[in-house]
Structure 1
Amino acid sequence: HACHCSDDCLVRGDCCTNYKSLCKGDSSWLQDQCEEIKSPECPAGFVRPPLIMLSVDGFRASYVKRGNAVIPNINKLRTCGTHAPYMRPVYPSKTFPNLYSLATGLYPESHGIVGNSMYDPVFDATFTLRSREKLNHRWWGGQPVRTVLPYVYAMHSEQPDTYGHKMGPMSTELNNPLRVIDRIVGQLMDGLKQMKLHRCVNIILVGDHGMEEAHCDRTEFLSNYMTNVDDIILIPGSLGRIRSRYPNNPKCERETKRPGKTMFCKKAEQHFKPYLKQHLPKRLHYAYNRRIEEIHLLVERKWHVARKVPEGRRHCGFAGDHGYDNKITSMQTIFLGFGPTFKFRTKVPAFENIELYNVMCDLLGLKPAPNNGTHGSLNHLLRSPVYRPSMPEEVSRPATSGLVPAGADDLGCSCDDKVSCGPRKSHRNLPYGRPAVLFRTKYSLLHHSDFISGYSESLSMPLWTSYTVKVSPLPDALSNCVRPDSRVPPAYSQSCTNYRADKQITFAFLYPPQLSSTVDKKYDGVLITNTVPMFPAFKRIWGYFQRALVKKYATERNGVNVLVGPVFDYNCDGVRDSAEKIREYVSGTIPVPTHYFAVLTSCLDFTQAADSCSGPLSSAAFILPHRPSNDETCRSSEEESRWAEELMKMHTARVRDVELLTGLDLYRRTTRSYGEILSLKTYMHTYESEI
């Protein structure tokens, strides 16, 4: 609209944002060149640069490709400031969970807003977007940034989400709401320039989630999979959450918790997978809250799930949706930071939105409340970070272990060949330093030529095992024997006798003996201290990882360091179980891990070998659920080469997730800064196509 060119508007402070450009001939902010703001330039009276938080609902990361013809102002902020190719939302990729995760740095299972609608069995109440119940403080956990209003201003736009739902994310009609949002951003920047605040204010522009194509015709109906759909309550749509309609009826409750028998792999073309919530990928952090139903349906992108076919023909009122697995490309959203505190013309790796809370607190001079982010992991966004992270102190150092008398106890094991543990090669097998143990326990280092283990007395198995595989490992040298380890007393060792007696469980090696550098050294790998308890079904995945994938990754990356070990998370809170907690679930026997982890590290520059890397590192992590069946894949009757790697990628994770679940701290001896290491630990490979 035309601006009234009245000079007294400057005195009154009510000028239109285009007053200077329209009435005085000044350039608009968009017309100005990018300028590097090396320090805040604020009018008198400002204690610190204010923070303006712009949140755009449903802004799929790929929308930035529409360019200057559609979003010139957003593009300029992105180009002149700091941006990531995308920001990953938390799961579920819905609005309320993500906005509150941005405000608190907490996962939904931690702050309690686990969906746009949810039922709390203790409150016996339901939270929905349209009810007044959502205004009740009892639902909202954490300590949001909004409690410090004087220096933070927030704005949320419900576009382009509304149009994305209606028209679909690929529609050219989305350009109209995107232009409106961009024009508002331009007005903001012109207004800040007019008030001489454009070199003072820090601006963060984020989305809450992306948008995927969807349509009513692509709907799975549970009535095609189970007979008792009238006995369940389903939160439908791009994900499914199921609870019993009659929670006080034991039979109905029991039937509701049987997804494996009623819905697993029932059809060849099934577009959802049912999970008990404790079996969901750990990277989702979506189990440890009473508001999360026991049964969860992960729905394939572009599809929906509903209880039963609606009566009568209905008009389909949408062409897009969100809420899907937060690692898929279409769910990724935008992040950019602009202002004197952010770096100039800088692109940073993608990250998860829980990390932003600590950055906002740093910008505002606040001490963050406890949260799920890793403080300092986004320091590379900032010109002069105020928080300097430090490496955590090691709590338990390895005991000095000497050989103990072997005695006569062979633990029921037999092996014709003798073993002699070779010379220590710590640098090759631990090129990035020994993992530190951050909890009280007793363990010792067991050295071998081709691998090193941190062996736990209380667990009678390694906490971790580390080895480095060269580009072309030697041919397999297989062995079918297991032998006792004279360095560990029988009381702290597993036994072959127990494995033979238990028909449900077998053993597997953490370091694969077939990768030994010589035939003689394979016998280090068959020590019983290199074994862990494993379900036979899971051993198929583990065996394929060891014999095929490790070699594949080593060849692709010029060698790879492999760190593997057990995970114990019986209570599903995403944090290592203490010995006392494990005893609550397992008594009198060697505990069976709930998961196994693998962290693969190589040089980002593949011209350098993994164990002699002088530059940035590259890592990939997996947290694999240890289960007695491979139902999750629906292809377990086929060869492992057809499904095992795909299943592992489903359970990709951050290195930081591994650390939380094991109580370990990794990468303690590298050439990189600790801030860079934190960024590495919080990065997650999604194995998705580029944005």
Structure 2
Amino acid sequence: MRHPAPALPTRLGFAVLLAAALAACAPTRPAPDAAPPERGGVEAVPSAEHALVLVSIDGFRWDYLDRGDVAAPTLRRLVAEGVRAERLVPVYPSKTFPNHYSLVTGLHPEDHGIVNNTMHDAAVPDSAGGAGRFSLSDRAAIADVRWWGGEPIWVTAERQGVRAGTVFWPGSEAAIGGVRPSDWLVYDGDLPYAARVDSALVWTGRPAPRRDRFVTLYFEGVDTAGHRFGPDAPETAAAIEEVDAALARLVAGLEARGALDQTDLVIVSDHGMTALAPDRVVVLDDVADLETEVEEAVWGQTAGVWPAAGVDVDELVARIDAVPHVRATRREATPERFRYRASRRIPPVVIVPDEGWTVSSREYVERYPDRPSGGGHGYDNELADMGALFVARGPSFARGVTVAPFSAVDVYDVLAEALGIRPAPNSGDPAVADRVLRAPAER
């Protein structure tokens, strides 16, 4: 079996982005649901002035703010004026697409279907009738609604009459449940941070009824630097400072129109980062014949295989599990806390490397002997280095408080509560909202 080189996300040109943004249609929104949720017997009625901006800093480890070499005055201001979680615990696998989608649906990957950044599913056939494949670089797959389960927060909002916009977010390019955000952009990693922030400011600054009350922002640079240089590198600190400058632009823009205190800012990340090294690699060929025993494989810090027909799966699992620095199980025997069993998109054999280790093939190792390097993620979601960020500041949130760690699936309920909309069914703990939000009478 051939081990392909890693794929890089497709980057559309700026002109393509603008054309797509202008063409992005706003579907007719269903009528609002009957009543907003209640907390403590008091209706959580959304204010006409109140907006919420959800910001993702991809790859921002929970403890980066505590580094002495990181200048992040805006983030630290938001912490001082709001609420911070000691750590946001990602879902397993601690990868970008599964976690971003869990943040906005309140569901685990086995329930919403985005079980990895790369996956395949025979029930989503491609144009040739084979198993459909999903990857970050496949624009058609990303826009294909068949991959996306659950109900993301922008759909929840639009269905209840709350206008939404997304300056990038996994899932926002598909018409999930037949609904798109009123405003949305096709992902373009070359779009400057300032332009992203300005889009959010424009959308939240329009007069009603065209004003977006929920908007997402996405910044990928910290993750990119962490992968290339490692979590402790000065380049990663510099990337954090670039994001902080973008947040300063957002805050200044809101302050300039007197809207900062009527806007909730929720800053999250999807996962953390840990150091990798080329001498911490498990070569799968050492225990399995990739040509005859493996039909398909997922490589890296979250790994797995689809055994070929006729292979004794239990015997293959035992061989892989006996290798140092990895654990291997059948899909249905993965740790219960992973919540990583129920989807057919999960490999039948799941391989979990030790922190800092990578599962690869002999061909890849020989071709790239200096890899992996820098940093990576995808490991056991309870490892400290996989921990993510949660900071919130605004009229809905507590002030000057640090709370105990909670899960990425808990964020959806918090967002819905802050917006005053009824959440869709989800796996989050509703008690988390009580820890991070002010009482309704105080808002």
TM-score, structure 1 as length reference: 0.47
For residues 321 and 135 of structure 1, the distance between their equivalents in structure 2, rounded to whole angstroms, comes to 26
Find the structure with the greater CA-based Rg.
1
1:208 to 233, 249, 270: 270
Aligned AA (1:258): E
- Inter-partner Cα distance in structure 2 for 1:209 and 1:100: 12
Aligned counterpart, 1:64: 65
Q: Which amino acid aligns with 2:428?
A: G
| In 2, Cα distance between equivalents of 1:259 and 1:47 | 59
**2:326 is the counterpart of 1:272:** yes
Instruction: Tell me the equivalent position of 2:378.
Output: 323
Matched, 1:304 2:311: no
Number of aligned positions between the proteins: 333
Cα distance in 2, alignment partners of residues 68 and 320 from structure 1: 18
* Displacement of 1:116: 0.2
Q: Work out whether 1:116 is the aligned partner of 2:120.
A: no
- SS of 1:274's partner is strand
- 1:259 is aligned to 316
Percent sequence identity over matched residues?
A: 31
Q: How far 1:229 sits from its partner (Å)?
A: 5.1
Distance of 1:283 and 1:342 partners within structure 2 = 29
The residue correspondences of 1:165-176 to structure 2 (distance < 5 A) are: 165-176=227-238
CA displacement 1:571-614 (0-9 Å, x = unmatched):
xxxxxxxxxxxxxxxxxxxxxxxxxxxxxxxxxxxxxxxxxxxx
Structure 2 partner of 1:236: 299
Paired with 2:222 and 2:113, the residues of 1 have a C-alpha distance of 26
Distance 1:228 1:160, change over 3 A: closer
Match of 1:357 in 2: 412
Deviation at 1:255, TM superposition (A): 2.9
Partner of 1:188: 250
User: Deviation of residue 228 (structure 1)?
Assistant: 4.9
Quote the Cα distance in structure 2 between the aligned partners of 1:264 and 1:56: 35
Deviation at 1:226, TM superposition (A): 2.5
Matching residue of 1:84: 85
Runs of at least 5 residues in structure 2 that lack an aligned partner in the other structure: 1-45, 125-130, 159-163, 165-211
Deviations 1:515-567 (CA, angstroms, capped at 9, x unpaired): xxxxxxxxxxxxxxxxxxxxxxxxxxxxxxxxxxxxxxxxxxxxxxxxxxxxx
- Contact 2:70–2:240 (CA<8 Å) still a contact in 1? no
> In 2, Cα distance between the equivalents of 1:87 and 1:67?
21
Within a 5 Å distance, the mapping from 1:289-688 to structure 2 comes to 289-310=343-364, 311-312=366-367, 314-316=369-371, 318-385=373-440
* 2:220 counterpart (153, 158, 163): 158
Q: What whole-Å deviation, never above 9, does each CA across 1:381-414 have from its counterpart, x for those lacking one?
A: 111159xxxxxxxxxxxxxxxxxxxxxxxxxxxx
**2:337 aligned partner, one-letter code:** R
CA distance in 2, matches of 1:141, 1:190: 37
Separation in 1 of the partners of 2:89 and 2:378?
12
Shift of 1:170: 1.1
Q: Deviations over 1:399-442 (max 9, x none)?
A: xxxxxxxxxxxxxxxxxxxxxxxxxxxxxxxxxxxxxxxxxxxx
CA contact (8 A) 2:317 2:349 kept: no
Return the alpha-carbon distance in structure 2 between the equivalents of residues 280 and 211 of structure 1: 23
Q: State whether residues 90 and 98 of structure 1, in contact with CA within 8 Å, keep that contact through their aligned partners in structure 2.
A: yes
Report if the CA contact (8 A) 2:418-2:437 is conserved.
Answer: no
Structure 1: 5+ residue stretches without partners: 1-44, 387-691
- 2:54 alignment counterpart: 53
Q: Given the superposition, is the C-alpha separation of residues 236 and 73 from structure 1 closer, same or farther in structure 2, using an over 3 Å criterion? A: same
Shift of 1:333: 0.8
Structure of greater relative contact order (alpha carbons < 8 Å, 6+ residues apart): 2
Q: Residues of 1 paired with 2:431 and 2:55: CA distance?
A: 22
Give deviations 1:197-216, integer Å, cap 9, x for gaps: 11110110000100010123
SS at match of 1:92: coil
Q: Which deviations, in whole Å up to 9, do the C-alpha atoms of 1:89-122 show, x marking residues without a partner?
A: 1010000000100110000000000000101122
C-alpha displacement of 1:133: 1.6
Paired amino acid for 1:240:
A
- Residues of 1 paired with 2:440 and 2:119: CA distance? 39
Q: 1:297, 1:317 → 2: CA distance?
A: 18
| Alignment equivalent of 1:219, drawn from 281, 301, 313 | 281
Q: Taking structure 2 as the reference length, what is the TM-score of the superposition? A: 0.72
1:22-65 per-residue CA deviation (whole Å, 9 max, x = no partner) reads: xxxxxxxxxxxxxxxxxxxxxxx961410011100000111011
Superimposed CA distance per residue, residues 633-683 of structure 1 (whole angstroms, 9 cap, x where no aligned partner): xxxxxxxxxxxxxxxxxxxxxxxxxxxxxxxxxxxxxxxxxxxxxxxxxxx
Q: CA separation of 1:133/1:260 partners in 2, compared to 1, >3 Å: closer, same or farther?
A: closer
**Do 1:166 and 1:317's aligned partners in 2 also have CA atoms closer than 8 Å?**
no
Report the alpha carbon displacement of residue 68 of structure 1 after superposing the two structures with TM. Answer: 8.5
CA contact (8 A) 1:221 1:309 kept: no
Q: How far does the alpha carbon of each residue in 1:226-282 deviate from its partner, in whole angstroms, 9 at most, with x for none? A: 2455531210000211103x4xx3x1xx3345334322324xxx0101111222111
Name the SS of the counterpart of 2:371 in structure 1: coil
Q: How has the CA–CA distance of structure 1 residues 313 and 168 changed in structure 2, closer, same or farther, with 3 Å as cutoff? A: closer
The alignment status of 1:135 with 2:143, answered yes or no, reads: yes
RMSD: 1.9
Equivalent position of 2:154 in the other structure: 146
Report if aligned partners of 2:70, 2:238 keep a CA contact under 8 Å in 1.
Answer: no
Which letter maps to 1:358?
Answer: D
Contact 1:259 1:275 in 2 (8 A): no
Q: Write the letter of the residue equivalent to 1:220.
A: V
Contact 1:229 1:308 in 2 (8 A): no
Change in Cα spacing, 1:69 to 1:104, as seen in structure 2 (3 Å) is closer
Structure 1 SS opposite 2:328: strand
Instruction: Tell me if the contact between 1:206 and 1:334 (Cα under 8 Å) persists in the aligned partners.
Output: yes
Q: Distance in 2 between matches of 1:67 and 1:336?
A: 19
SS of 2:258's partner is coil
Distance 2:244 2:344 in 1: 40
Name the SS for the 1:324 alignment partner: coil
Does the CA contact (< 8 Å) of 2:318 and 2:328 recur in 1? no
Amino acid at match of 1:86: R
Distance 2:232 2:248 in 1: 24
Paired amino acid for 1:137 = V
Contact 2:414–2:432, Cα closer than 8 Å, also in 1: no
